């Protein structure tokens, strides 16, 4: 977990399950914005409820709110032409993070994606989690869904909002500076970097002034992952929390392929009597993510870890709860999977909360999902899975290891 010095006790945190809960709150906040909106997402899909979020961004920009939108070049790609034109005309400033270009993902440096989902409104409210701008009942690759996607996000106020705003502002102005340099507009690039520095100072000062009267009780911290200063913070947060668990660990994760350290932490926790339960993807979505995870299950099952596969729809959650009913509750909601793409390559963001009420709420939702929407994996069924599936599992696992070797990472 983040070290105690990184937590502050001035937060108000609210949990949302699915876009059906999140989007109305997000839209209401954007409709009430008076100065600026910073928005980052991996996927921005304009089908169904996603269009309502886009319309809220356009409304804000039309009334003079500074509105910055960044989408990922793989998750979103190019915005649909009609929406790109509409947002631009409304005054929304938008950028595509790391567009693929001609060779696309054949270039390993293109594997470093913007996977975090963050929205800061007026420097005072932060939305963070795993929920993309994507209708709960729609999947871009699989079409209509019969049950909503299983995912979570939080809305928080307090001192961590400034940290989120700061990192988003830095990314925006770095992208702007790179754009200007490529166009040989060097004075504009220098000005963009200076503007970023001034904006950070203003945000920090405003946050300090707001904190003076803050009495909100929840302890929370923002944990970021990038490829410069924060390469392993999210993984270390998980390792510390699992390592200090006394009673229970519950993890819900969409694409689960933990590295050696995380596997060992989960096994050690189970062996010392901690009840460890995993809620994982039960439906086939992508070849690599589905099959590369399976070879890890045997070691965990042998140690007594419970694995439940979510079946009604796609599980997209990236959350965890440790000792919710103990004296040191810990919970996290964010964008980071426990796989090498998230923990070694992508920009990610998680909110970590030390609060019994919040942890208990999240725990109840996860336990309900395991009991009513999950199928517990039987060790004998796992060991006896068909030869074809075992071959595909090993092929995917080997390809993932090869990809890591190409990037120069150990996992």
Instruction: Using the 3D structure, point to which of 216, 236, 251 is the last residue of a domain.
Output: 216
Return the CATH number at 184.
3.30.870.10
Give me the number of domains the chain comprises: 2
Q: Are 253 and 285 in contact (CB under 8 A)?
A: no
Comparing CA positions, the residue from 297, 322, 308, 305 lying closest to residue 267 is: 305
Residue at 227 is within a domain: yes
The model's pLDDT over 8-48, given as tens digits with 9 standing for 90+, comes to: 999 999 999 999 999 999 999 999 999 999 999 999 999 99
- How large is the average pLDDT for residues 294-311? 96
How much is the pLDDT for 145?
96
Residues 147, 81 within the same domain:
yes
Please, are residues 331 and 324 in contact by the beta-carbon 8 Å criterion? yes
Give this prediction's pTM. 0.90
In a domain, 4, yes or no: no
> What is the four-CA torsion angle of 250, 119, 233, 409, rounded to 10 degrees?
100
Q: Based on the fold, state whether residues 52 and 68 are members of the same structural domain.
A: yes
Q: pLDDT tens digits for 47-93? A: 999 999 999 999 999 999 999 999 999 999 989 999 999 999 999 99
Average pLDDT over residues 253-278: 97
Any idea which residues carry the catalytic annotation? Answer: 115, 117, 122, 316, 318, 323
254 and 120 assigned to the same domain: no
Residues 363 and 234 in one domain: yes
Which DSSP symbol is given to 5?
G
Domain of residue 267 covers: 222-407
Residue 252: pLDDT over 90: yes
Domain-embedded: residue 1: no
Same domain, 195 and 260: no
The residue among 355, 365, 349 whose CA lies nearest residue 323 is 355
What is the pLDDT at residue 229?
Answer: 86
pLDDT digits (tens, 9 = 90+) for 375-390: 999 999 999 999 999 9
Same domain, 212 and 226: no
Q: Which residues lie below 8 Å from residue 264, measured CB to CB, with a gap of 6+? A: none
Residue 183 has pLDDT above 70, yes or no: no
**What does the pLDDT average to over 244-271?**
97
211 and 307 fall within a common domain: no
Is residue 357 one of the residues assigned to a domain? yes
On whether both 54 and 168 belong to a single domain, the answer is yes
Output DSSP code: residue 28.
Answer: H
Q: Which is more confidently placed, 210 or 277?
A: 277
User: Is residue 299 domain-resident?
Assistant: yes
Calpha distance 300→36 (Å, rounded): 46
Least confident among 27-36, 362-371, 398-407: 398-407
Of 259, 286, 285, 279, nearest in space to 345 by CA:
259
């Amino acid at each position: 977990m983040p070290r105690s010095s990184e937590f502050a006790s001035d937060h108000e945190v609210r949990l949302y399950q699915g876009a059906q809960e999140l989007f109305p709150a997000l839209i209401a906040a954007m409709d009430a914005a008076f100065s600026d909106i910073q928005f980052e997402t991996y996927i921005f899909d304009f089908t169904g409820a996603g269009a309502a979020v886009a319309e809220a961004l356009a409304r804000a920009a039309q009334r003079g709110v500074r509105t910055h939108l960044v989408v990922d070049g793989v998750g979103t790609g190019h915005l649909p032409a009609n929406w790109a034109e509409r947002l631009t005309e409304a005054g929304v400033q938008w950028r595509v993070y790391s567009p693929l270009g001609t060779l696309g993902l054949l270039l390993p440096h293109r594997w470093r994606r913007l996977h975090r989902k963050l929205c800061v409104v007026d420097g005072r409210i932060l939305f963070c989690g795993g929920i993309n701008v994507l209708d709960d009942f729609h999947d871009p690759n699989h079409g209509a869904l019969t049950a909503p996607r299983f995912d979570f996000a939080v809305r928080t106020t307090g001192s961590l909002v400034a940290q989120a705003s700061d990192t988003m502002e830095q990314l925006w102005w770095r992208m702007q500076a790179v754009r200007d340099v490529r166009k040989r507009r060097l004075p504009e690039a220098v000005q963009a970097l200076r503007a970023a520095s001034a904006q950070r100072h203003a945000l920090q000062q405003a946050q300090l002034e707001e904190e003076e009267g803050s009495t909100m009780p929840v302890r929370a911290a923002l944990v970021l992952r990038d490829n410069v200063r924060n390469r392993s913070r999210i993984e270390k947060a998980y390792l510390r929390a699992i390592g200090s668990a006394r009673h229970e660990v519950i993890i819900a994760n969409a694409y689960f392929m933990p590295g050696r350290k995380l596997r060992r932490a989960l096994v050690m926790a189970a062996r010392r009597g901690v009840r460890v339960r995993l809620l994982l993807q039960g439906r086939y979505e992508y070849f690599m993510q589905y099959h590369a995870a399976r070879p890890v299950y045997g070691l965990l099952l042998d140690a007594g870890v419970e694995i439940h596969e979510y079946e009604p729809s796609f599980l997209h959650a990236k959350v965890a709860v440790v000792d919710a009913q103990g004296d040191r509750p810990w919970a996290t909601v964010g964008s980071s999977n426990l796989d090498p793409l998230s923990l070694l390559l992508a920009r990610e963001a998680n909110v970590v909360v030390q609060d019994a009420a919040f942890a208990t709420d999240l725990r109840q939702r996860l336990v309900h999902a395991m009991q009513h929407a999950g199928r517990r994996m039987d060790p004998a069924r796992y060991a006896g899975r068909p030869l074809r599936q075992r071959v595909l599992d090993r092929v995917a696992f080997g390809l993932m290891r090869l990809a890591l070797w190409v990037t120069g990472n150990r996992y």
